[in-house]
Amino acid sequence: MRRKWFSRPWGVVAIGVAVVAVGVAVFLITGSRPSGPRPLTPDEANRLAITRFLNYQAAGRAVTITVPTASGGLVITGSVDFRAHVGYGVVRGTGRDTSSDGLIQWSATAVSVNPMVETPMAAPATPPDSGWRRRPLSTSGSALDSALLITLSLAGDRPENAELLPQNGATWIGRERVGDLEVDVMAGPAARARPGTAGNVRYWVDADGTMRRVHADVASEPRPVVIDFDARPYVPVQPVPGMR
């Protein structure tokens, strides 16, 4: 029998959800598989309750973050350190926007970018000593900054309260495949003190409770931010000059 986890209400995710839109996007699951939304089963609630804690236990994970923008979008490929709350990787524009190509590192308060004409396929393990431009991270009005902050929020130092998640609006949406795995898609609960936000963040969670993908609505874009947790090995994040 799967162990039940009980702890504080859904906490750190509220930091990320605070920067997303209040409107709930409608997520459609196609095909013949059973689809929701419906209430979580006890097993599903337990897995959703531990999914952020498992990220924290892992210390860090490789990620691909897809950020929609009016000019085409951005894709960040790299790693996030959930203990130090810092991420680092390569950023590339899609569509017609390639002006942001280069390296990027971010914390909960600042973003550092290093523009490059020839952007490497993967970020160097040791960041360059020069060429960085640092700015404050914006908590509103920027799909990129919202995506970066939400990514950092996807870990917690203890499990959530599995009994409170359904009470606060978490639901099961359906099942999908991520790579070779079949996973459950679950809508997250409402952010604390923010009614109407249930479902703004959706989680793809496997049978062990491991987070495989996240969709998050952002106020500045009609399409969600997509955060994929890759099979690539996690590369520990080294801070760029001035980040810490």
Do the Cβ atoms of 44 and 172 come closer than 8 Å?
yes
Q: What pLDDT is recorded for position 3?
A: 46
The amino acid occupying position 10 is W
Do the Cβ atoms of 75 and 92 come closer than 8 Å?
yes
* pTM, full prediction: 0.84
> Cis (ω within 30 of 0) for the bond into 34?
no
Q: What pLDDT is recorded for position 143?
A: 92
Give the three-class secondary structure for 205.
strand
| β-pair partners for 115 | 102
DSSP-derived secondary structure for 156-185: -SS---TTHHHHTT-EEEEEEEETTEEEEE
CA angle 65, 68, 70 (to 5 degrees): 150
Q: What pLDDT is recorded for position 6?
A: 42
Do the Cβ atoms of 16 and 156 come closer than 8 Å?
no
Q: Does domain 13-22+29-228 have CATH number 2.50.20?
A: yes
| β-pair partners for 89 | 78, 104
Could you read off the pLDDT tens digit of each residue along the chain, which spans 244 residues? Answer: 444 444 444 543 433 343 343 233 333 333 335 577 999 999 999 999 999 999 999 999 999 999 998 778 999 999 999 999 999 999 999 876 667 799 999 999 999 999 998 899 999 999 999 999 999 999 888 999 999 999 999 999 999 999 999 999 999 999 999 999 999 999 999 877 577 778 899 999 999 999 999 999 988 888 999 999 988 899 999 999 776 6
